Amino acid sequence: MSIPAFGLGTFRLKDQVVIDSVSNALALGYRLIDTAQIYGNEAEVGQAIDASGVPRSELFLTTKIWTDNLAKDKLIPSLKDSLVKLRTDHVDLTLIHWPSPGGAVPLADTLGALAEAKKQGLTKQIGVSNFNRALLQEAIDTVGAANIATHQIELSPYLQNRKMVDFARSQGIHITSYMTLAYGKVLLDPVLLQIAQRHNATTAQVALAWAMQLGYAVIPSSTQRANLQGNLLAQQLRLTELDMAEIAALDRGERLVNPDGLAPRWD
């Protein structure tokens, strides 16, 4: 089951704000919704989906297991709790949100529990997020690359993460880009503004189209219906080789998500 190239992220969205965002997105045609246990919004996401009338079979739901629940005796119970909140009997993709801090929980234990969750039908696919190359290699050695549906990483024109992307691709592992708009920083970038003008597009559309054209899935979030609709149109934007080359030159290794105690040693 392939992962849709475009979806809605819900990081930092809470309460009625996330309900409205998911409701508007679904009404506009979004079908991938990405949430996580630590976001504290799974119940509201589930409420919005339930009220939308969109058949569950048309949706692709992703959630992520928080570090407190990575132990093999905690993972499945926590995922079942997520399913109750999301008002569904399964998610389409479950990710390890961050590697276990300090390696406190062996990765093999977590992946074993995830594989069991998949076997039980609680999730259709499993994957990882925020791993470095060494951890991704360990995951491959444990469950095989074919069983890692995606690696979700911070990736934007300012952080193109090429070492990780190249390694993942060499193993046949799909990439999902989060923070593709770099907390909105790229929206005023002069290079992206010029490209946007050439295509009669927005800078957000350009950044999202760039990532999708490289083969990544993107999950931008927004609280504004107009922006949700505009982002959706990025799927129809085709950038030229010149456009892609100009964006490639923007890479400056600028990482915005690097939480102490959670982040591994980045490549």
Q: Find the angle CA(72)-CA(82)-CA(84) to the nearest 5 degrees.
A: 125
For residue 251, is it within any domain? no
Count up the domains in the chain and report the number: 1
Please give the Cα distance from 50 to 78 (Å, whole number): 21
| Torsion from C-alpha of 40, 45, 46, 49, nearest 10 degrees | 180
**Average pLDDT value for residue range 120-142:** 98
Q: Which pLDDT score, from 0 to 100, does residue 177 have? A: 98
**At which residue do the structure tokens 């030159």 appear?**
249
**Average pLDDT value for residue range 236-249:** 98
For residue 242, is it within any domain? no
Catalytic residue, from 39, 158, 178, 216: name it: 39
CB atoms within 10 A of CB 263: 15
For residue 203, is it within any domain? no
For residue 178, is it within any domain? yes
Question: What are the pLDDT digits (tens) for 145-191?
Answer: 999 999 999 999 999 999 999 999 999 999 999 999 999 999 999 99
CATH (domain of 57): 3.20.20.100
**Average pLDDT value for residue range 33-44:** 98
Q: Quote the domain boundaries for residue 49.
A: 8-184+214-233
**Average pLDDT value for residue range 257-261:** 96
Confirm whether 183 is a catalytic residue. Answer: no
Task: Check if the beta carbon of residue 10 is closer than 8 Å to that of residue 44.
Answer: no
For residue 199, is it within any domain? no
**Average pLDDT value for residue range 253-260:** 97
Edge-to-edge strand order for the sheet containing 8-9? 8-9, 32-34, 60-65, 91-96, 123-129, 151-154, 175-178, 217-218
For residue 69, is it within any domain? yes
Q: Which pLDDT score, from 0 to 100, does residue 1 have? A: 65
Task: Check if the beta carbon of residue 35 is closer than 8 Å to that of residue 62.
Answer: yes
Model confidence, pTM: 0.97
For residue 4, the 8-state DSSP code is P
Question: What are the pLDDT digits (tens) for 48-59?
Answer: 999 999 999 999
For residue 262, is it within any domain? no
**Average pLDDT value for residue range 106-121:** 98
Six token digits for residue 254? 């600028």
For residue 3, is it within any domain? no
Q: Which pLDDT score, from 0 to 100, does residue 148 have? A: 98
Query: Does the pLDDT value for residue 224 go beyond 80?
Result: yes
Q: Which pLDDT score, from 0 to 100, does residue 85 have? A: 98
